[in-house]
Amino acid sequence: EEVPVVSTALYDTDFPGFVEALGAAYGQFGFVILQDHGLSMELIDSAQACSRKFFAMSKEEKMRYNVAGQGGARGYTAFGVETAKGSQHHDLKEFWHRGRELEPGHRFEALMPPNAVVAEGGFTAATAEIFSALDALGGKVLEALAVHLGQKRAYFADKVDDGNSILRVIHYPPLAREGEDGEQALARAGHVRAGAHEDINLITLLLGADEGGLQILARGRCEGGGKDEGEPAWLEVNPPPGCVTCNIGDMLQRLSNHRLPSTTHRVVNPPPERAHLPRYSMPFFLHPNPDFLIETLQTCVSAECPNRYPEAISSDDYLQERLREIKLK
């Protein structure tokens, strides 16, 4: 089994076909790989090069961009901080967060702070352009999912236009020190690069990574036996170069009463012969406006599928609750 590849060109040439393809992929996997998405390789390569330069700076230089008191919402978060929900081990990564730019006096100003600006190189400009491009691409995906869920095509438009979305630029450092044996390095690591988790937001759009490791939990399938028997089965996700991997988050799973599943995923450590290599990726977490009320869509409720979430919750309350669970607050 493989996560399906869908051409985003269908959005313009065959929108009903785009809706059908996304609905089928998400219903089975919670993930899809998007090609023909409109982001140029020049833009992607430029952003990745700027990211490598930023993370190559010393820890002291990077910590100048650590914004205290915001739970990692903006700027730099050091290695060893974020921890998957329910895990006792921190992830093996450091990252940068960029959010939406707001006009002074905006109604969400208190919830969405200004972005940190990196003085060195073109990092700030490159991440701003990637943010805008993935935000627009996410809007196209949400149009299709709205129709799939029995809503008007523009259902999400005024619910995400000021969304508390985040571009995360991630660096997973090499696990092996220079000259160190890969097997010994992996044994010393004691954990995986990113523990098994689900995303908090509506949808996530992922650029990268040049190194493998992304795995998703196969729904209802296990290794060594039939359904729900044996060990959980993990599927490798290796998108073609330049493609965008897009998955459902917990907010959309809740809104759709689990019609669109938020699939557990992780980033595992590399094989010993590649333990000396870093890994970079850029996920864009598309969030709704902070005051959006996550209330189960009635088109997703039936006698066979009763409402799992009779009590609504605002997206910001839900976000803050989850940030505390992953130790960012």
The rounded distance, in Å, linking the Cα atoms of 69 and 92 is 22
- Count of CB atoms within 10 A of residue 191's CB? 15
Region 270-284 average pLDDT? 92
Rounded mean pLDDT of the chain?
A: 91
* Prediction pTM value: 0.92
The rounded distance, in Å, linking the Cα atoms of 27 and 220 is 13
- The pLDDT assigned to 283 comes to 97
222 vs 13: which has the higher pLDDT? 13
- The pLDDT assigned to 230 comes to 53
- The pLDDT assigned to 125 comes to 95
- The pLDDT assigned to 221 comes to 47
Q: Is the pLDDT of residue 290 over 90?
A: yes
What one-letter code names the amino acid at 88?
Answer: Q
- Which residues make Cβ contacts (< 8 Å) with residue 230, sequence separation at least 6? 222, 223, 224
3-state SS string for the chain: CCCCEEECCHHHHCHHHHHHHHHHHHHHHCEEEEECCCCCHHHHHHHHHHHHHHHCCCHHHHHCCECCCCCCCCEEECCCCCECCCCCCECCCEEEEEECCCCCCCCCCCCCCCCCCCCCCCHHHHHHHHHHHHHHHHHHHHHHHHHHCCCCCCCCHHHHCCCCCEEEEEEECCCCCCCCCHHHHHHHHCCCCEEEECCCCCEEEEEECCCCCEEEEEEEEEECCCCCCCEEEEEECCCCCCCEEEEECHHHHHHCCCCCCCCCEEECCCCHHHCCCCEEEEEEEECCCCCCEECCCHHHCCCCCCCCCCCCEEHHHHHHHHHHHCCCC
pLDDT in tens, 76-118: 999 888 777 777 678 889 999 999 999 999 999 999 999 999 9
Cα-Cα-Cα-Cα torsion 242, 208, 3, 143, nearest 10 degrees, comes to -70
Q: Quote the percentage of the chain above a pLDDT of 90.
A: 74
- The pLDDT assigned to 226 comes to 43
CA 114 to chain centre: 21
- The pLDDT assigned to 222 comes to 42
pLDDT in tens, 175-230: 898 888 889 888 888 788 888 999 999 999 999 866 789 999 987 544 444 445 55
Packing angle, helices 123-148 and 15-29, rounded to 10: 90
pLDDT in tens, 254-265: 999 999 999 999
CA 270, 77, 116, 294 torsion-angle sign: positive
For the stretch 277-294, what's the b/e string if a residue is b when 16 or more beta carbons lie within 10 angstroms of its beta carbon? ebbbbbbbbbbbbbebeb
pLDDT in tens, 291-306: 999 999 999 999 999 9
